[in-house]
Chains A and B, each alone.
Chain A
């Protein structure tokens, strides 16, 4: 096994010192969220989003069937989320939006102006009552209504764990199909923000992975957020929609202003490759992009540490998008081609989503694997306040894992 002389991540501080002497941009020359090529910053690119399905009132009218007739507007993720809820409320009289502080916009501004636009009967604040909010949403959805509830931070979802896992997930099964809460969608901001600490930077998606009956969706960008949220609201199953909070403002795209959906349960291949599959979702999509850039064209300071023979490796980058159910076919097909899999997520490693994916993929692709499946994750400790940057998997740790897996 080829192994690096020492872990690349340990060299990170020295890289910063070197960089300072040559005065590059503060974030280095790597692609950041703002400069990411994954984001679709032109109208043409936005309208070519894979699997985008238009849902118009007058879908047959010529002006809207032609892609060229579609308009887009520059939006960040919170504006795209708001746009999706606005469409849902406008088209579905039974839909309501509720949660802590949502009537005046919510802490991340996702519901700005919705109360004024649709009335305080339909967009209203709840008490600070997470278990009650979800239970209330379950009851409302049982009556065939559309409940779009917000849990202010994913870290606060645990009081509602029982209502989600025991009530929302199981009601269809345990009532033999008499009742369901397909109209229930729980939106909640997730993942790290740089300084959230123990109760504002967690990624609890893995806790719901065993709750058959629920769906869990995590978008990576404004276009994805709008399409997947509309898909989640209209999906006939209860959905937990986790919005990476650092992307609310930093990720900006040209977002189609019309009503469209993106499919749940489908991963998206963002970069095609043949040598290794790099699988992630949410915020780390951008860390992975940066890592791939580091691998293929390392800056001078990094060059001694990036094995030259690996720089031409073609890495396939996949955004899982739906955590439950997850797109096992796409991942298995990719790993059967590449023979290598690295999974990146912000939650801790033990019993994280990566554990389930690794187990299933090693079973399906055992004879095609050229290296052990590697997981790059947050630590199993609580999320630290002071050193959050070092808790969350970053580009250095990802490129290190990619090189190790490529040279196994």
Chain B
């Protein structure tokens, strides 16, 4: 027994030696310009803060990142547009034009936009209900998202889904059941492997969903069969109204994959998220090393949903502090200005353009008609294979196929 105990101790040593107090930092403006571009169209080198990543059973990504000015400005524009879109949804909800459930991702833009910059259009993404920015980044439109929230025909699910149910050919939603999308993403990754595609699937879930049993079922299958699944925990520190520490016995979500290596990432710095996603993609696709667990430490400014003010389980000061010191958009703005990539005026012009784009899309979506009565009966079964009849909205309404 004594030797066994020593053996176990020895096994634990590498983890124990990791400085426990140190964790990934989440400021959004600590990346440094390493080499100035001699030519604006050429890539330049950035150096990420050394605490941008923590790893579990794998190396951390390179802290040196190559980016072009063009990409940096595109990231800025996209994050700003996504925030504007979510703010528009917030306003439409408060005006009672959007009804039902609505979960906004304001504060988490570096994850959705950074993800898209690190992967290929042919990779697949599946997430939970905080899905609006992903839907747009994956080939959707703002009009389509807002239209769906409004329940209009222009919505990406023709107004039949709503906030949690938005899809594109490479984006499997938008899923309302906490954790249910994770084994589905694993099955999608299996199909990619089965087909021999050089692609992977990013299955996203929150810190709250990380305690769902089926998430662990998916981890096990993905590792067992060496599937190209990247499990992405978007840790915004609160699962609905319960903080991570109050819900999870282990809040280092990147270590919860057992034999699946993991990476904790500063999810407020879009350059770090892009770097981590590219690392994960290379891990699963180019190096064929199976699944990887990514944890983006991020923060949502709003409540869990529209009916949650978001201040009963955390202080207003905490939200205010995150907004003023760790905001992903402001952080990127600071880089761009400090590094001389664009002036404040040029960025303001981008802000204006983002707002104009969203405003125009909202108007188009608002003008779109609601689904027609016949849409009630479609897309339940494949056309031509329906039951003889389906009961409808009132006692005597029966639709006969």
Contacts and interface: CB of A to CB of B under 8 A. Distances in A.
Contacts of B173: 174-175, 179
B187 A142 contact: yes
Interface in B351-394: 378-382, 385-390
Given A173-B160, A176-B157, A139 B177 contact: no
A382 interface: no
B184 A138 contact: yes
Interface stretch (B4-12, B57-65, B218-226): B218-226
B372 to A, nearest CB: 13
A131 B213 contact: yes
B156 interface: yes
Interface stretch (A77-85, A192-200, A275-283, A321-329): A321-329
Contacts of A215: 381
A140 B183 contact: no
Interface residues on A, range: 35 or more
Nearest to B191: A143
A276 to B, nearest CB: 23
Interface stretch (A31-39, A161-169, A367-375): A161-169
Interface stretch (A16-24, A121-129, A219-227): A121-129
Name, among B165, B381, B390, the residue most crowded by chain A CB atoms within 10 Å (CB to CB): B381
A245 interface: no
Contacts, number: 156
Contacts of A68: none
B389 A127 contact: no
Interface residues on B, range: 35 or more
B221 A237 contact: no
A142 B188 contact: yes
B95 to A, nearest CB: 24
A138 B387 CA distance: 22
A145 interface: yes
B186 A135 contact: yes
B177 A135 contact: no
Contact of A143 (B156, B176, B188): B188
A132 interface: yes
B192 A167 contact: no
Contact of B387 (A137, A144, A145, A325): A325
A135 B218 contact: yes
B32 to A, nearest CB: 41
Interface string A184-218: 00000000000000000000000000001101000
Interface of A: 94, 96, 121, 126-127, 129, 131-132, 134-145, 147, 162-163, 166-167, 172-180, 182, 212-213, 215, 235-237, 264-265, 324-329
Given A143-B192, A176-B156, 7 more contacts: A131-B217, A135-B186, A139-B186, A140-B187, A172-B380, A176-B379, A329-B388
Interface of B: 126, 155-161, 165, 167-169, 172-173, 175-177, 180, 182-192, 194-195, 213-214, 217-218, 220-221, 224, 378-382, 385-390
5 contacts: A121-B194, A131-B217, A175-B167, A325-B386, A328-B389
